Amino acid sequence: MPDDRPILLWFRRDLRLSDHPALDRAASSGRPVIPVFIHDEVVEGYKAAPKWRLGLGVGHFADRLAGIGSRLILRRGEALGVLQQLIEDTGAATVWWTRAYDPASIRRDEEVKSTLTGQGIEAASIPGHLLFEPWTVETKQGGFYKVYTPYMRAVWDRDVAPTLTAPSELRAPAQWPDSDTLDDWRMGAAMDRGADIVRAFVNVGEEAAQTRLAGFARNDIADYDDARDIPGQDGTSNLSENLTYGEISVRACYHAGMRALDDGKPGARTWVQELIWREFAYHLLFHTPRLVSDNWREDWDAFPWNEDERLAEVKAWKQGRTGIRFVDAAMREMYVTGRMHNRARMIVASYLTKHLMCHWKIGMHWFEECLIDWDPASNAMGWQWSAGSGPDATPYFRVFNPVSQLDKFDKDRAYVNRWIAEGQDDPHPDALKYFDAIPRHWHMSPDDDYPEPIVSHEDGRERALATYKNRDF
DNA sequence: TGCCTCTTAGA
DNA sequence: CTAAGAGGC
């Protein structure tokens, strides 16, 4: 007699029906499937914007499951205890989930797996978040890659399996276990900025992500190479938000990019290489989990970073009033939309870690607070890359000039004018939204004079380079 | 996925 | 005077 006991399908950052290997396996087993999302110790650690955005994704995904005759069971508590309770309540014999690679998730998942396995439950993680498992990519010497380009070359010609189609139905259990109500979790509670303002810029869910991918591949990917560098225009895919919550699979993106490349759209190669940057970040994080917490190159521990969040320059940077237009526009864009253009991310990171000589962790934590596309691997790698403390990092002496970058990448000032209201006769509506989104105690008004630079490019560059030159490492 | 300064060739 | 390349940070 075939096993008819339910399968618990534990969803985390994989909120989709399409190209979901664990879901596909569960659906084709013919057994009852109980999808569950747990507000657990890892979710507890999420900061304001990511937690809020995750809540939107979870709510949407519950509706998706309802559309195929299933449900999303919501429970709160430590993951292991919640799963054990659900096993007891439902008679489930199996727990499957999509594998995660950040240190907090790995700790949790290893404990869940070993404990449940010890209790006779089949507990297994199934790939689905990445194109290439981190341990399958090795240098000739047998180590992991520390430099992007050789990593990219090593994986470029690999076969990537085709995508899986979404199941049209999912067998329900004889009886559904109890579920919490999403609203009771108040996942937006820490979103004490204009969440209703940010809401206008988010793109929640699997269908929205697929529509976005199709439009990007059809209209924008050919010119991605050049257009991606212009923050005043919408030349990027904007899919990071969906990728981070698994609302679209990286495999679907990869195949769309490769098809576009075959169709003779040259920018597609660069875009696929950006997907491989994401892979590389997870590769590094898996092999060196301290990427999220410590200087990857330990000699940087001796560098005199400012680590005090209360420093006036740190506040000015966070609040978008450094007096450097490119920096302030970018910080405001992030506050209003939950996203920041990638070119701008490099510029604000260079300014914080070099001109202001502040530790990259300050920046990493603020991004984690504000970004709806927050990804633990990409965020940590990006900051260490910018600061110069990471593997394959930009050298510390490579200091972006945030003034001349405007002439290169924002010639018509479309970007800074979109996000900075002060001094404009007829400010862009988005520039005004910033003042509705920020807390009152920041005391900022569109009628203020735009501030003088707190640290000019020339002074900041000179100080940073002098400090670097005199370093004792 | 730098920026700056210096040098030199050529208009 | 400008453009382009080299080399240092």
- Nucleotide closest to residue A464 (CA–C1'): C9
A158 token code pair: 């690999």
Residues A120 and A110 in one domain: yes
pLDDT tens digit sequence for A215-261 = 999 999 999 998 999 999 999 999 999 999 999 999 999 999 999 99
**pLDDT given at position A241:** 97
**pLDDT given at position A469:** 86
CA of A311 and C1' of B6: distance in angstroms?
38
CA of A411 and C1' of B9: distance in angstroms?
31
**pLDDT given at position A446:** 98
**pLDDT given at position A193:** 84
pLDDT tens digit sequence for A149-201 = 999 999 999 999 999 999 999 999 999 999 999 999 999 999 988 899 999 99
CA of A440 and C1' of C5: distance in angstroms?
52
Residues A51 and A115 in one domain: yes
Residues A250 and A303 in one domain: no
**pLDDT given at position A243:** 98
Residues A215 and A306 in one domain: no
Q: Which domain CATH number covers A434?
A: 1.10.579.10
Those residues with Cβ within 8 angstroms of residue A195's Cβ, 6 or more apart along the chain or in another chain: A52, A188
Residues of chain A with pLDDT below 70 are: 1
H helix intervals, A91-219: 103-118, 148-156, 182-185, 195-199, 206-215
With beta carbons less than 8 A apart as the criterion, state whether A306 and A358 touch. Answer: yes
Whole-prediction pTM: 0.97
**pLDDT given at position A473:** 76
- Nucleotide closest to residue A385 (CA–C1'): B1
Look at residue A13 and tell me if it is in a domain: yes
Closest of A69, A59, A19 to residue A39, by C-alpha: A59
Residues A282 and A144 in one domain: yes
A218 token code pair: 């059809």
Residues A156 and A260 in one domain: yes
By percentage, how much of chain A surpasses pLDDT 90? Answer: 96
Query: Could you tell me the CA-to-CA distances from A172 to A70, A74, A177, A452 in Å, in that order?
Result: 6, 16, 11, 62
Residues of the domain holding A266:
130-160+193-287
Look at residue A180 and tell me if it is in a domain: no
Residues A15 and A110 in one domain: yes
Binding residues of A for FAD, as ranges, are: 224, 236-240, 271, 373-375
Closest of A449, A464, A434 to residue A351, by C-alpha: A464
Residues A22 and A152 in one domain: no
Residue A35 host element (H or E): strand A33-39
Look at residue A176 and tell me if it is in a domain: no
Q: For the sheet with A94-98, list strands across it.
A: A73-76, A33-39, A7-11, A94-98, A122-126
Q: List chain B nucleotides near protein: any atom < 7 Å from a Cβ.
A: 1-4
